[in-house]
Amino acid sequence: MPVIRTVGRAARQLLQSSGCGCGIPAVPVRCIGVSPRQVASDAAFHSVTFSESDHPRVLITGGLGQLGVGLAKLLRKRFGKNNVILSDIRKPADNVFYSGPFIFADILDYKNLREIVVNNRITWLFHYSALLSAVGEANVPLARAVNITGLHNVLDIAAEHNLRLFVPSTIGAFGPTSPRDPTPDLCIQRPRTIYGVSKVHAELMGEYYHYRYGLDFRCLRYPGIISADSQPGGGTTDYAVKIFHDAIKTGKFKCYLRPDTRLPMMYIDDCLKATLEVMEAPAEALTMRTYNISAMSFTPEELAQEVQKYVPELQMTYNVDQVRQAIADSWPMNFDDSNARRDWGWKHDYDLPELVTTMFSYLGSDSRIAQAN
């Protein structure tokens, strides 16, 4: 934990209430020798550690994105429904709201986020709030606020309350000067998107907090994640989700990447399994704080060929989006995840044929698919 200097109660309240009503903090008040986040919590704010309870108490930020709802379902099955709190700044669908605890949490509101952690005795925090690659390029100031300022809030709260913190990283954390085939865990990283820059920042800050303050920080670099129960959210790899929806609805798909653009991909069940496994891994087994994980790597053309086994009349056309294509061309083609496989036994279950079969089993009641089957 950080070395913390004690300040008076009035100063403490001032330091932690310097934000504006919009949820975005104002310039913090500074005191000599005191960081606004390095404030001792009162004895009443003690947070139960994992060793003091049968199960962790989990908070998931940004929980209504592609991964949060599925992760909550997996963790609730393992740790109990009421031990996993899903949070976001958007209104959840009824099925999500009634499936388990849900609360409003704005990661840019440090004071409120800290209260949530304290009042709910959180011990594990999964930080999924972020703007993705293409969306982030369209609104850099917002991406900077959410992806970087929000991360700083989470890091400080996790260090103060001795949480086990998971922050996902991405293939976007690499750049055009990184080795692309394969890309190892440790190499040059010079991303050219605000999303990628913010993720490199998260990796390094998490590692720094681990070595400087003892924070139990854990991070996985996700490849493109494919799932049947979410809509594309503005990522460069989202074509690999949209193709299934369009194949079923119209039998036509227009891809915004070149047909030969190879990127690492993963089915969501493998992604969630890896996330839980790395969080449960003994600390002594981890030789690093950030790991690559991978399952498969394919191009739009190879994916289309697999999809056409179920929808033979699928018409695939290409209208290249130069922004997304430039992003994809700077990313890895294949991940080297040998360290994850060695240190904590990572092993994927889904290759490309299994992925496509599973996606259509969830999405496809269409006559074209029934005839193909």
Instruction: Kindly indicate the confidence band of residue 53, based on its pLDDT and cuts at 50, 70 and 90.
Output: low
- pLDDT tens digits for range 245-301: 999 999 999 999 999 999 999 999 999 999 999 999 999 999 999 999 999 999 999
Domain boundaries, the chain: 130-371
Task: Calculate mean pLDDT across residues 312-338.
Answer: 94
Residue 357's pLDDT is: 95
Residue 45's pLDDT is: 31
- pLDDT tens digits for range 111-141: 999 999 999 999 999 999 998 877 888 999 9
Collect all residues with Cβ–Cβ distance below 8 Å to 185 and sequence separation of at least 6.
288, 290, 291, 292, 336, 337, 339
User: Over 90: is that where the pLDDT of 43 sits?
Assistant: no
- pLDDT tens digits for range 60-85: 999 998 899 999 999 999 999 999 99
Task: Calculate mean pLDDT across residues 232-240.
Answer: 80
Q: What interhelical angle do 300-307 and 239-249 show, nearest 10?
A: 30
Residue 3's pLDDT is: 39
Mean pLDDT across the chain, nearest whole number?
Answer: 85
User: Over 70: is that where the pLDDT of 8 sits?
Assistant: no
Question: Cα(first)–Cα(last) distance of the chain, in Å?
Answer: 57
Residue 65's pLDDT is: 85
Residue 32's pLDDT is: 31
Task: Calculate mean pLDDT across residues 227-250.
Answer: 85
For residue 184, which phi and psi values (nearest 5 degrees)? -80, 170
Task: Calculate mean pLDDT across residues 226-235.
Answer: 76
What is the phi-psi region of residue 17: left when phi exceeds 0, alpha when psi lies from -120 to 50, beta otherwise?
alpha
User: Over 50: is that where the pLDDT of 31 sits?
Assistant: no
369 with 310: CB under 8 angstroms?
Answer: yes
* Candidate list 110, 128, 195, 291, residue with the active-site label: 195
Q: State the DSSP code for 146.
A: I
Run of H or E including 17: none
**Which CATH number is associated with domain 130-371?**
3.40.50.720
Residue 232's pLDDT is: 66
Instruction: Kindly indicate the confidence band of residue 42, based on its pLDDT and cuts at 50, 70 and 90.
Output: very low
Q: Which value, in Å, is the radius of gyration of the alpha carbons in the chain?
A: 21
pTM of the predicted structure, to 2 decimals = 0.82
Residue 98 is a catalytic residue: no
Residue 181's pLDDT is: 95
Helix, strand, or coil (residue 343): helix
- Whose tokens are 């036994």? That residue is 345
- pLDDT tens digits for range 160-203: 999 999 999 999 999 999 999 999 999 999 999 999 999 999 99
Task: Calculate mean pLDDT across residues 360-367.
Answer: 72
